[in-house]
Amino acid sequence: MDWSGWGDPARRRPLPESLQRLLEQALGMRAPSGTPVAREEVRLPSVALTAKVEGALAAVVGEAEVHTDVASRLAHAGGKSTPDLLRRRLVEQSAPDAVVRPGSHDEVVDLLRVCAEGSIAVVPFGGGTSVVGGVQPARDGHAAVVALDVGRLDRLVEADKTSMTARLEPGLRGPEAERLLGGRGLTLGHFPQSFEYATIGGFAATRSSGQASSGYGRFDEMVVGLRLATPRGTLELGRAPASAAGPDLRQLVLGSEGAFGVITEVTVRVHAVPEECVDEAWRFADFGSGVEAFRRLAQAGRLPTIVRLSDEAETFANLAMADDVGGGGAPEGGCLAILGFEGDAERVAASRGELAGLLEEYGGSPLGTELGARWREGRYSAPYLRDAVLDAGGLVETLETATSWSRLQTTYAAVRDALTRALADQGTPPLVLCHVSHVYPTGASLYFTVAAAQGADPISQWVQAKTAASDAIAECGATISHHHAVGLDHRDWMEAEIGELGIEVLRAVKNTLDPDGILNPGKLVPPA
């Protein structure tokens, strides 16, 4: 990945002139006063590892897999949130002291032992796509910090077509996992927007959710077993499709974000590669009508594989960007919905026919498959657009939550209003977009995209807005994160999420598995 932006540097491009003019007119966006620094200009702190500790790390993984050069350190200096990318534009930056790349579970266990003995903080690192500060290299009082890159742990260990499960190592990126499984006629069906770069281990550690969650489920629902390396040893969890042998300890690992251990293997449920995939576009008169239609589909058990509903603002923005970035809006206005159908040809045809009648009954109007196809084609391009907006003087970021159907409209309005007020009060009134993309019988997610002109201090500008939105989410009784995870950015709202006693439980688990507190310091678990 690009060290200072998203994805493949070759795919970066300037902001289209038409879109730049639109943002200048709507938001008052102007070119930033400074320009991003070149990697050669960046100044990092000196490497804090002693020769003894560096030698001990090399004794575990080999000298060639301990990297202290500037390029390796910068590539592991954080995730891909907007504040992360803004920090990459500064001369003075922080980074891990070294990047260590183990090649086996046993090497991970040995590395954690060495680091515990030397008081070295360890940040497990997969694709580096966190947008909530989940891989910030915090020392937190330790002598040094290393990034434990799982990229060499990248095998498909086993594909069991009888049980329809697969054992995967954590460093497998989404496309390679699908390629290996696809050679056996299988798929995970897990395609988040970070798919091109995120890893199997990261999917599990953050409770990731992909665009086809209505058909295949969230990633944590796919996991039937896993292996965890900790400073205290190894946990092997999950030996049957269901068990009554006490609380399910897998749930302590899923979503643990590297704070309890390093996931070194995951056994997941897989599916046959679908024979056909069709995406349809539908129009609803307004967001409330679309939300009500989605609720009724979910509670009737009639959801297709993919469901996505944009509010009026996002629908308008998608239409405005259609020619430049492959978006697509409903030409008659209103709100655009995308429904995806996957399976054998007969099942897809039957589902489309059945849902068409229901959607029309619930107020939907069909728009055909062209807009749906364009949405899928442009699915992984949006983060590149964010980089271009930053270059042009804009601020773009996302946040998400989930709540019950009865609270959804209230939460939607409260978060939108909090973001609008917080940014307008700083002299940078925003454009706030939203969509629903993960739907359940009891509720749904809300995913917000926020655009504004950069202020004098854009990092502080966004932190103020994100704090206001997070407070609104907590006050509405919604979750602080549906699928972005907790990391550092959401940690201070965890007590509102699970209560003081719940925080004590998390601390007890961490103290048991990681008594020296070396694993991903500062993330997930609020300090005592």
Q: How confident is the prediction for the chain on average, in pLDDT?
A: 95
Q: Which two tokens stand for residue 11?
A: 């795919």
Residue labelled with tokens 């970070």: 194
Measured CA distances, 55 to 47, 50, 101, 364 (Å): 14, 8, 14, 65
Instruction: Report pLDDT digits (tens) over 234-245.
Output: 999 999 999 999
Identify whether the C-beta of residue 265 lies closer than 8 Å to the C-beta of residue 155. no
Answer for the pair 226, 165: CB distance below 8 angstroms, yes or no.
Answer: no
Please tell me whether residue 294 adopts helix, strand or coil conformation. helix
SS3 at position 65: helix
Give the tokens for residue 389.
């907006």
Question: In this model, does residue 22 exceed pLDDT 90?
Answer: no
Note the pLDDT of residue 330.
55
Question: What share of the chain has pLDDT > 70, as a percent?
Answer: 97
**Residue 299, Cβ neighbours under 10 Å: how many?**
14
103 torsion bin: left (phi>0), alpha (psi -120 to 50), beta (else)? alpha
Q: Delineate the domains of the chain, giving CATH numbers in brackets.
A: 9-33+46-149 (3.30.43.10), 156-272 (3.30.465.10), 276-377 (3.30.70.3450), 382-489 (3.30.300.330)
CA distances from 423 to 35, 391, 393, 447, 455 (A): 23, 19, 15, 18, 9
Mean pLDDT for the stretch of residues 166-171: 98
Instruction: Give 332-363 pLDDT, tens digit per residue.
Output: 679 999 999 999 999 999 999 999 999 999 99
d(C-alpha 104, C-alpha 265), whole Å: 10
Residue 323 clears pLDDT 90, i.e. is over it: no
What are residue 226's DSSP bridge partners? Answer: 237, 266
Helix (H, G, I), strand (E, B) or coil at 85: helix
Q: How far apart are CA 45 and CA 64, in angstroms?
A: 22
Residue 62: how many other CB atoms lie within 10 Å: 13
**In the 8-state DSSP scheme, what is residue 69?**
S
- How confident is the model over 378-423, as pLDDT tens digits? 889 989 999 999 999 999 999 999 999 999 999 999 999 999 999 9
Q: What is the 3-state secondary structure (H, E, C) of 105-158?
A: HHHHHHHHHHHHHHCEEEEEECCCCCCCCCCCCCCCCCCEEEEEECCCCCCEEE
**Nearest alpha carbon to residue 357 among 289, 297, 295:** 297
Instruction: Identify whether the C-beta of residue 405 lies closer than 8 Å to the C-beta of residue 293.
Output: no
Q: How confident is the model at residue 9 (pLDDT cuts 50, 70, 90)?
A: very high
